[in-house]
Amino acid sequence: MEKKRKIVGLCGSLRKESYNAKLLKVASSFIPEDIDFEIVGFNDVPVYNGDIDIPEVAERPESVNKFRDALATADAFIISSPEYNFSIPGGLKNAIDWASRGKDAPLMYKPVALIGATQGMWGTVRMQTAFLPVFTFLNMNPVLQPEVLIAQAQNKFDENGNLTDEKTLSLIKRKVENLISASKV
């Protein structure tokens, strides 16, 4: 029996009412039914420490193993993240650091689509630019077009958390379609 294809979503914000978590939900609505989609959390992953990331010597923390195992099931990734201090949020970067080590690094060589929302005026352009060296190091295949850099997110969602901006919905749909094409998932 053929393995069902899968896209994993990562949200760079841990906030309960995160606009980026809402964006992942929107993105998932454009994924065909024959492809699984799962959002994988990382809020229990400890701060990266190379002294305990030596699988030949000691076991990685269980939360790290669980996170890496969930990522390993993915054929492609969607990352939705805010921009913190002109860059990648620390928690997300930390989780990616744990997932980037070893010959079995679950992010390596996989396609990734990056989207983001912020309440500020400039969208998430600096965060998305900061990700490019990370994707390069991991030999990931970033889907760069169309760019989804949502500024003033508080004005693009209704009181129920639904994205109401048609142009943004169209961009997200195209981004997901391009990820599926790039990944052949």
pLDDT for position 109: 95
pLDDT for position 184: 77
CA 97, distance to chain mean position in Å, is 13
CATH assignment at residue 141: 3.40.50.360
Least confident of 37-41, 57-61, 105-109, 133-137: 57-61
pLDDT digits (tens, 9 = 90+) for 52-80: 887 777 788 999 999 999 999 999 999 99
- The alpha helices in the chain, defined as continuous H runs, are 19-28, 62-72, 90-99, 125-137, 166-183
Asked whether 143 and 179 are in contact (CB, 8 A), the reply is yes
pTM above 0.85, yes or no: yes
Query: Residue 154 carries which side chain, given as an amino acid letter?
Result: Q
**Per-residue pLDDT for 185 more than 60?**
no
pLDDT for position 1: 61
Range of the domain at 77: 5-183
Quote the number of domains for the chain.
1
